[in-house]
Amino acid sequence: MKPKLTLKQIARELDVSVSTVSKALRDSAEISEETRQKIKAFAKLYNYKPNNIALSLKNRKTRTIGIVLPEIVHDFFATVIGGVEQVANKHGYNVIICLSNNSFDREVMNMEMLANGSTDGFILSVAKETQQKEDYHHLEEVINQGMPVVMFDRVVDEIVCDKVIIDDSEGAKKAVQHLIDLNCRKIGIITTVDYVSVGKLRTKGYIEALQKNGMQVDEENILKIEDMERSEEEIIDFIKKRELDGIFAVNEQFGASAVRGLKEKGLEVPKDAVVISFSDGELSKRFIPSLSTISQHGAEMGARAAELLIERLERPVEADERFKTEVIETSLIQRESTLRTKLTSV
Amino acid sequence: MKPKLTLKQIARELDVSVSTVSKALRDSAEISEETRQKIKAFAKLYNYKPNNIALSLKNRKTRTIGIVLPEIVHDFFATVIGGVEQVANKHGYNVIICLSNNSFDREVMNMEMLANGSTDGFILSVAKETQQKEDYHHLEEVINQGMPVVMFDRVVDEIVCDKVIIDDSEGAKKAVQHLIDLNCRKIGIITTVDYVSVGKLRTKGYIEALQKNGMQVDEENILKIEDMERSEEEIIDFIKKRELDGIFAVNEQFGASAVRGLKEKGLEVPKDAVVISFSDGELSKRFIPSLSTISQHGAEMGARAAELLIERLERPVEADERFKTEVIETSLIQRESTLRTKLTSV
């Protein structure tokens, strides 16, 4: 048998993007008639038939769940996988993981590969680049092929499917309220660029918490990080320039670097300034001081996503088809980085 | 088409282990004649034919590499995945990841699933439980089916295949020598139980470094951790009881907890005591003090494993068949946790 032609190979041969090929093959109006014809002719010549293959496999159960993730360096995604595995294994399903490395093209290719007979359905958190492009045709495609998708954490409003989220903005409010309750009056946030949906929502929660308490929002106290690699320098620099007594970091790496910045400025945590972060991983637990955090309950999120997917896979065709969005409650875990009584003077 | 019967289902139906089913189906003498007959009859009745399926797929290239890992909570495995992905993607291969969660049964099932048409070959680090059981028949099975396997990090001497390792014992020697060069005279090690091959090798390196420098090995200064979850308490307790001026921890989590133990004892790091760990992850970098470490170069290890696998996949059949074991050099990264000049008096 000849090696199967992939979207990527077609794209390379015709010098267009993977996304263009994928869209052209399903006759998207976004692609010019001429390009569509060219791509379809090429695909036909080399016998590329994604939909047909998928259709012929439709009734074959693989009893495998595919997880597609942006990355796994964050402990959060590792704990989500743990939760998925636990439920999946209990129900006799295997789990396969693919990483997009936050690349749109890789996400498209991973889903193409897994949809081609390797899995019954998907659990997915979309890539940063996909959110930036707002191009979700590959998700529509697998759903149209009859494969259920459950999105979690970084979800897409436009896609109709089951979703498991935490209320990021509510979680952020809890974190900031905790700082306010400790008498912080100059609270900064270290967050991500806005096109990352969870970063945006956490920034929203930060702003709302300040406003609710009658405090001014100073744009200068908001640091938006684009590049993880260079984040520590940026954070230390930000903290040295600002006079902050409380910091809310949207992940534990940023939280750890915030503590370093404060120390370099000569401030002790939690005595002179306090730090709270988001997501409850190894770094938060082992750090000195251990980091107070908003726990996203990754394992629970993964478990719930797996349950929703398996329910849908095993549901009779005529059953209720409505999609659910489930919200997992966040909780505040107080550790050393905010462990102090109220400051009387600030 | 009927859902495919899995090893696990057969095992459940007949109330035997997955390993027993797998061995019986390939006529292993380890399984009694009676049990073999029973299992084979059952498998035949339900049309279970793993080898036939694999054979029919043998000439179909999936252009996919399967990675089977014990876990991903350790940054090390995440960086290995990164290295594999980079090389694989460059050569037009996709990557699929499965986790054994250190369970032998899950490792067997994952390999069964992936070998069944989802991948061309494997990159693998074996589960703790597999090392404990010393049962490697599932590895022999895929190799006998003609699927290449590259093992890395936790490798198995008995299995003949390509391997990528670091010299764990040499790396440990470097770490301990670094402490000795800083005038440490009472050096402890925080390691894992002996059946984890890398832990054992690092303990060996620790002992050799002490002996080479004419220092006594005191068993009381060796802490072997079995349970990751409870490790912090155990480490703090160990450090409080011992009078140590240098600690070598075989992973960064243990290193972080060692610093906490020393602080609780009233010792400052690196002034009064120094700490060095193994593996260069986020925790080592962001920790305060940042942790000196022996870098395992996970990305390079992954990249090299992927290269070896792809070379073998794309090699003409008549080509040289000898297997390679490549050793990736470790390197010492000095950070704050050992950043001091020699102590003149200890």
pLDDT in tens, B195-210: 877 889 999 999 999 9
Q: Is residue B54 part of a domain?
A: no
Q: Which of A100, A230, A286, A291 to mutate to test the interface with B (most CBs of B within 10 A)?
A: A286
Residue B83: is it exposed, middle or buried by C-beta count within 10 angstroms (0-12/13-18/19+)? buried
User: What is residue B318's predicted lDDT score, i.e. its pLDDT?
Assistant: 58
A162/A307 same-domain check: yes
Is residue A73 within 8 angstroms of chain B, CB to CB? Answer: yes
B263/B287 same-domain check: yes
Residue A184 tokens, joined: 């912080």
User: What is the pLDDT confidence band of residue A2, given thresholds at 50, 70 and 90?
Assistant: very low
Q: Is residue A24 part of a domain?
A: yes
Can you point out the beta strands (E) in chain A? Answer: 64-69, 94-99, 121-124, 149-152, 162-166, 187-192, 222-225, 246-249, 274-278, 292-295, 325-328, 331-333
Ramachandran bin of B279, using left for φ above 0, alpha for ψ from -120 to 50, beta for the remaining angles: left
Q: Which of A61, A82, A113 is closest, CB to CB, to B94?
A: A113
* Length of chain A counted residue by residue: 346
Q: A285, A93 in Cβ contact below 8 A? A: no
Q: Using CA atoms, how far apart are residues B24 and B192, in angstroms rounded to an integer?
A: 34
pLDDT at B28 over 90: no
| A259 to B288: CB separation less than 8 angstroms, yes or no | yes
pLDDT at B58 over 70: no
| B99 to A85: CB separation less than 8 angstroms, yes or no | yes
Q: Using CA atoms, how far apart are residues B68 and B138, in angstroms rounded to an integer?
A: 12
B281/B226 same-domain check: yes
B79/B124 same-domain check: yes
A18/A113 same-domain check: no
Question: Average pLDDT in the B151-161 region?
Answer: 93
Angle between helices B33-45 and B7-14 (to 10 degrees): 120
**Closest approach of A26 to chain B, Cα-based (Å):** 23
B61: nearest CA in chain A? Answer: A3
Q: Is residue B245 part of a domain?
A: yes
CB atoms within 10 A of CB A256: 27
Q: Is residue B2 part of a domain?
A: no
Is residue A95 within 8 angstroms of chain B, CB to CB? Answer: yes
User: What is residue B1's predicted lDDT score, i.e. its pLDDT?
Assistant: 36
Q: Which of B104, B108, B118 to mutate to test the interface with A (most CBs of A within 10 A)?
A: B118
pLDDT at B345 over 60: no
pLDDT tens-digit series, residues A29-71: 888 888 888 888 888 777 675 543 443 344 557 889 999 999 8
Q: Using CA atoms, how far apart are residues A249 and B147, in angstroms rounded to an integer?
A: 46
| B286 to A8: CB separation less than 8 angstroms, yes or no | no
Give the β-pairing of A149-152 and A94-99: unpaired
**Closest approach of B283 to chain A, Cα-based (Å):** 6
Q: Which of A3, A64, A283 is closest, CB to CB, to B283?
A: A283
Ramachandran bin of B325, using left for φ above 0, alpha for ψ from -120 to 50, beta for the remaining angles: beta
**Closest approach of B47 to chain A, Cα-based (Å):** 15
Residue B40 tokens, joined: 């084979």
CATH number at residue A263: 3.40.50.2300
| A287 to B282: CB separation less than 8 angstroms, yes or no | no
Q: Is residue A56 part of a domain?
A: no
**Closest approach of B320 to chain A, Cα-based (Å):** 24
Range of the domain at A149: 61-166+298-328
Q: Is residue B263 part of a domain?
A: yes
Q: A283, B286 in Cβ contact below 8 A? A: yes
B136/B40 same-domain check: no
A172/A291 same-domain check: yes
Q: Is residue B345 part of a domain?
A: no
**Closest approach of B213 to chain A, Cα-based (Å):** 33
pLDDT tens-digit series, residues A308-345: 999 999 886 655 678 999 999 999 999 999 998 665 44
Nearest to A78 by CA among B281, B253, B99, B110: B99
Tally of CA atoms within 13 A in the half-sphere of B24 that contains its CB: 25
A155/A217 same-domain check: no
A86: nearest CA in chain B? Answer: B101
DSSP state of A274: E
pLDDT tens-digit series, residues A119-160: 999 999 999 999 999 999 999 988 888 889 999 999 999 999
Q: Which of B1, B89, B253 is closest, CB to CB, to A282?
A: B253
Q: Using CA atoms, how far apart are residues B27 and B48, in angstroms rounded to an integer?
A: 15
CB atoms within 10 A of CB B13: 13
A192/A249 same-domain check: yes
Sign of the CA dihedral A222, A227, A228, A233?
negative
B150/B178 same-domain check: no
Any idea which residue has 């790396």 for tokens? B171
Question: Average pLDDT in the A257-270 region?
Answer: 97
A75: nearest CA in chain B? Answer: B73
Q: Is residue B346 part of a domain?
A: no
pLDDT at B52 over 60: no
Total number of domains in chain B? 3
pLDDT at B322 over 90: no
A88: nearest CA in chain B? Answer: B106
Q: Using CA atoms, how far apart are residues B285 and B276, in angstroms rounded to an integer?
A: 12
DSSP state of B230: G
User: What is residue A208's predicted lDDT score, i.e. its pLDDT?
Assistant: 98
User: What is residue A171's predicted lDDT score, i.e. its pLDDT?
Assistant: 96
A188/A131 same-domain check: no
pTM: 0.79
Q: Using CA atoms, how far apart are residues A237 and A232, in angstroms rounded to an integer?
A: 9
Interface contacts (A, B; CB < 8 Å): 114
Q: Which of B4, B57, B97, B263 to mutate to test the interface with A (most CBs of A within 10 A)?
A: B97
Q: Which of A81, A101, A109 is closest, CB to CB, to B99?
A: A81
User: Cis before residue B148, ω within 30 degrees of 0?
Assistant: no
A292/A311 same-domain check: no
Residue A311 tokens, joined: 């329910």
